Amino acid sequence: MNPILHKIVETKHSEIKESRGRSLPTRKIPIRDWKSHLKTSSVSVIAECKKGSPSAGILRPSYDPVTIAKEYENAGAGAISVLTDEEYFFGSLRDLESVASAVSLPVIRKDFILDPIQIDEAYAFGASAILLIVRILTPTELESLLKHAHQLGLSVLVETHNEKEVFVALDAGATTIGINTRDLDTFQIHKNLIEEIAPKLDPSIIRVAESGIESFEDWQKYMGMIDSMLVGTYFMKSPNISRDFHSLLHGTKSI
């Protein structure tokens, strides 16, 4: 495991210990249907609210997740991803709650989830879905966390990086598979990964392309292979999200 990823996982274990016994708020936000927003007649966008990352540092100094999320919704996003990790990605559960309260789209908690208590937090703070990363979980852990999320009515995006991890995800019961072109061990992007893996997945699976999508041309070659794409850094670096959202989908900056 990459030293940075290993450090993040260690931090998560410490946070989980601190979370035990802590009371959670009563959920006030309805769970919004994941599949109908992502598996549509065209490729949908899971647009991400992310202030920064360990590899890129601060991406958006004037970060207001609610304003960004509303702009995403108005631009036509299918769902919104909110980074909730505080120490490495500068997010919070309050960001999740604020965004989920402000939009009518399904919102996914994107974090390094290792324990059911983190799923309980996601539910309490308004998420309609969570992210689970195969790379940091055993097959047994993955299956258990998937079941826990589904019992709460939450959808799950299961992130993979190779065919072996895809098989693990499917065996655990995943119905939404994310193919992350970024190798979490090296942080390198392998764009051909989508073309290698996505066509082999059953059409009933919601297939999500993750990382490295920064242009109309980037995702056009995936047409017919994916149902959705998760895009964060491209938008976070943009001075005009609405314009560049349109440019990403249509290949023109007409806005």
Q: What is the CATH number of the domain that holds 208?
A: 3.20.20.70
What is the reported pLDDT for 255? 39
What is the reported pLDDT for 106? 98
Domain count for the chain: 1
Q: Which residue segment(s) compose the domain that 100 sits in?
A: 3-17+37-250
What is the reported pLDDT for 214? 87
Interior/surface letters 166-204, b for 16+ CB within 10 angstroms, e for the rest: bebbbebebbbbbbbbbbbeeeeebeebbeebbeebeee
Helix (H, G, I), strand (E, B) or coil at 162: coil
Q: Is residue 255 part of a domain?
A: no
Helical spans, DSSP H, in 20-157 = 35-38, 65-75, 93-102, 116-124, 139-151
Contact 153, 30 (CB under 8 A): no
Whether the CA torsion 56, 177, 144, 94 is positive or negative: it is: positive
Counting as low any pLDDT under 50, the low residues of the chain are 254-255
Q: Is residue 62 part of a domain?
A: yes
What is the reported pLDDT for 82? 98
Which residues are designated catalytic? 48, 50, 110, 159, 180, 210-211
What is the reported pLDDT for 254? 44
Query: CA 52 to CA 55: how far, in whole Å?
Result: 8
Q: Is residue 48 part of a domain?
A: yes
pTM for this prediction = 0.94
Q: Is residue 31 part of a domain?
A: no
What is the reported pLDDT for 149? 98
Helix (H, G, I), strand (E, B) or coil at 78: coil
What is the reported pLDDT for 253? 53
